[in-house]
Structures are given as structure tokens and as C-alpha cells.
Amino acid sequence: MESGLSTTEYAVLGLLTIKPMSGYEMRQLVAESIGHFWSESYGQLYPSLKRLRGAGLVSMKSDKSSKRDKHIYSITTQGREALAAWLALPAKPQPPRSELLLKLFFLSPGDAATTIEQVNGARDRALEELRHLGFVEAKIRSENAGQSQLQQWLYTLHFGRHRAEAVVRWADEILLGLEGEAEARNSESKT
Amino acid sequence: MESGLSTTEYAVLGLLTIKPMSGYEMRQLVAESIGHFWSESYGQLYPSLKRLRGAGLVSMKSDKSSKRDKHIYSITTQGREALAAWLALPAKPQPPRSELLLKLFFLSPGDAATTIEQVNGARDRALEELRHLGFVEAKIRSENAGQSQLQQWLYTLHFGRHRAEAVVRWADEILLGLEGEAEARNSESKT
DNA sequence: TTTGGCATGTAATCCGTTACATGATTAG
DNA sequence: CTAATCATGTAACGGATTACATGCCAAA
């Protein structure tokens, strides 16, 4: 069912609404602007562009001006229509697959040290992401002041922030409980 | 690098530490107990069991007693060692890929109605998950009182709770902002 | 008797990353 | 001169879901 296009292909269409771009440029843009919730590799990008072109959803022209021929892709009217239709469809929730939770689930309470390490690792990564998101937000706020799309970008950034904050809260909850246990054991052995 | 086994195979080893099981049983157990952060299909399960058996990490015996021959798998000592080694390795963070955020990113501020729909949909799903997690927690608390593994199970459940709460907070933040905008526009047109 | 759950597996297919192959341009 | 970055693509591979193929047993 659905619309025949893969999610990657819709992502490509979306990127081309920002501006006409080469495959290489798209890759960069994905990595720096939506890297916290999306990724694309060349192995997906180039074949997708080819298919989309075949379907008339994007057009291509060679830019021989500056350096050596570079392929600049643009979204067509049909492409915009296909994208708009997809954007209005409810996003399907993706089943999360977490290696971290898998490990925690199977670790035994006797391995408290390993549990703590894993939880701490997740906490550190979340803190790091929080810093990174703050940095990105400051950057796009200054670079895109007044840009109409800015608000939408902030939505995705804020999602990342709430997600990371949740991880920190969760980790603190566990770490506190584990410390409490250790203390209880301690005072017990002293009595 | 790494250890030669896939994450699915470690998950299988982990499941077999709970009790010896058939492939069919494993599938059920995954769906009901760790379904909120992991999934396995038969197309992965059976070939994995085959490979693990070949590597001597699980053993199999046919149960002809009850109905018709059923294959019961158990984890071997080597299997337990392999699992323990993997559990101690830091969990690698998986790059999130969110179709929802992709849509929000590309929706234009003019499509506020669609944005609201998407965000509300995510909020509803999070609320539903919260109810579900509460239900599961009550169930496993009563069924596994005193079970040593209970605490580990709760860790994963609580992660899900914090994650879902984060989505609700984020959604409320956006929805509130969007309402404020609408009101501002309203009073403006009245003045 | 026919539907649904138990039960085991394989094949086709999709989606995605990594590695490979190639080559120009630019900064140190 | 040479390493990094720009630039385009394909091939190989791996991980995962879905569809397919098969068949028993129990309940409605």
C-alpha cells in the first residue's frame, strides 16, 4: 500500500524544498541539520535521486560553470505534491530497539557494577547531546532569524532536548536507588 | 570486530537464561515482556537458534511427550559466558530515525493544522503507552514479587515511562505555543 | 467442520551501511 | 608533493520484516 516512495525518498524531496542541491551537499546538510533524528548514506541517496528523477519528481541539471560537472537536483511541481500528501499522513511510530535496555533487562542484580556503568554511560551521552543541541539551537537561531522554517526546526530540536532530559532523569532515579541499596547494606554490616 | 554474534543472537541467549524455551515461546515472550523496546520475528529467531546451536552456545532437545515433537532450546555454559561478556560491553547508542520529526521539519508554518494533528497523534500514542506500561508494571510486580530479576525489568519499564512523559511534555509545549499564536492572531484581527 | 492458536521453518524482499572504484581540486 | 575535501556512483553485505509452505490440535 502507501504511496510507492520510501521514507528516504520523501526525505530527499523535503531536502530539495530548502534549495536545489547536489547529492554530496544533501549528505552534508542531513548530517549537520537533522542528524539528531535522521541519517542518509550515499548508498541510499544516489539511487533515490535516480528513481525520483525517473518518476518526474525531481529534475537535474549539470553545473559545468565552476569546477567540473556537478549534478544539481531540484524538486518539481509533482514532487511538491507528492511530498505534501505524505506530510499530511499520520507518521507511523517506529518500534524502538534499544540495546541498552536489552542489556539492563538481562543483567542480574548481582552485576550492579555493570548496570551502573551502562546507566552512567547513557547518562553521559544524554548530557553530551543536551550540550550539542543547545549549541545547534543557538546557531540556527542566529543564522535563520526571521526565516519562516525556523519554528519547525526548533520543534525537532526541542524533542531531542526532552528526550535527552528524560534519559538523565531516568538514570538519576536508578543511580539513586542503587546508592541507597549500597548504603543500606553498609549500615547493616556495621550493626 | 566485536564478537561474531549479532544482537539478535545475544537477545536469544538472554531469553534462554529465563528458562528453556521453544522458538514459538520465545516469540510470545518477547512480544509481551520486552515488546516496548525489542522485537524479534520468526525469520530471525529460527535461523539464529540454528547458528547458536552450531556454535555450541545453545543445546536442543525434542519434546515428544505432550503433543507432537517440539524443539526446546537451552543455553549452555559457553552460551552464558558469551552473554556475560557481551552484557559488560558498553551498549552502542543507536541513531534514532524519526518519521514524525522528519515531517515536522519539512511542514511549513502555514500547515499549522497538520503540525497540530501530527503532534497530537504522538501525544495520544505516548499517553496510551503510559497506560500500557502502568498495566504491565502492576502485572509483573504481582507475578514476580521477590523474583531477583524484577528490579532489572522495572528499569526498562521506567525508561519507557520517562520517554513517554517526555513526548507528552514536548507536545504540550508545542500545542500551547500554537494556541497562543492563534489567539494573538485573533485579537489582532479584532483590534 | 472450520476457525484459531500451536508450531517450525524457508524464501523473497526491503532497507540501510560500508566498502569499493574513480578522479579533480585545494590547502599545507 | 601530498593529504584532505569535493564529488559521483556501484557492489557487497547484513539485518529485519513479510510472505509463503506445512501441518496438528482444540474449541465453537
Q: B14 burial class (0-12, 13-18, 19+ CB within 10 angstroms)?
A: buried
Higher local confidence (pLDDT), A68 or A21: A21
Q: Does B116 touch chain A (CB under 8 A)?
A: no
Element (H, E) at B59: strand B58-63
Interval B157-175: pLDDT, tens: 999 999 999 999 999 999 9
> Strand D: which of residues 61-90 in chain B lie with Cβ below 7 A?
67-68
Per-residue model confidence (pLDDT) at position B115: 97
Contact (CB<8Å) A114/B87: yes
> How far does the CA of A105 sit from the C1' of C23, in Å?
50
% of chain B exceeding 90 in pLDDT: 78
Per-residue model confidence (pLDDT) at position A95: 81
In this prediction, residue B13 has a pLDDT band, given cuts at 50, 70 and 90, of very high
Residue A94 has pLDDT above 90, yes or no: no
First to last CA, chain A: 68
Residues of A in contact with B83 (CB under 8 A): 106
What's the grid cell of residue B119? 503532534
The mean of the pLDDT values for chain B is 92
A114 near B88, Cβ under 8 Å?
A: yes
Per-residue model confidence (pLDDT) at position B3: 66
- For range B6-19, the mean pLDDT: 97
Amino acid sitting at position B21: M
* Count of C-beta atoms within a 10 Å radius of residue B66: 7
A60 near A73, Cβ under 8 Å?
A: yes
Q: Does B181 touch chain A (CB under 8 A)?
A: no
In this prediction, residue B191 has a pLDDT band, given cuts at 50, 70 and 90, of low
Nucleotide nearest the Cα atom of B38 (by C1'): D16
**Cα distance between residue A166 and residue B166, in whole Å:** 6
Q: List Cβ neighbours of A90 (8 Å cut-off, separation of 6 or more).
A: B117, B118, B121
- How far does the CA of residue A142 sit from the closest CA of chain B (Å)? 18
pTM equals: 0.93
- For range B77-93, the mean pLDDT: 96
Per-residue model confidence (pLDDT) at position A38: 97
**Cα distance between residue A190 and residue B172, in whole Å:** 49
Matching residue, cell 544524554: A126
Contact (CB<8Å) A96/B37: yes
Q: What distances in angstroms separate CA B45 from CA B25, B27, B39, one per listed residue?
A: 11, 8, 10
Sign of dihedral through CA atoms A23, A28, A33, A34?
positive
**Cα distance between residue A131 and residue B185, in whole Å:** 34
Per-residue model confidence (pLDDT) at position A120: 97
What's the grid cell of residue A50? 535516480
Per-residue model confidence (pLDDT) at position A191: 57
Per-residue model confidence (pLDDT) at position A1: 37
Provide the H-helix boundaries in chain B.
7-18, 23-33, 42-54, 77-88, 99-106, 112-143, 150-190
Matching residue, cell 525537532: A156
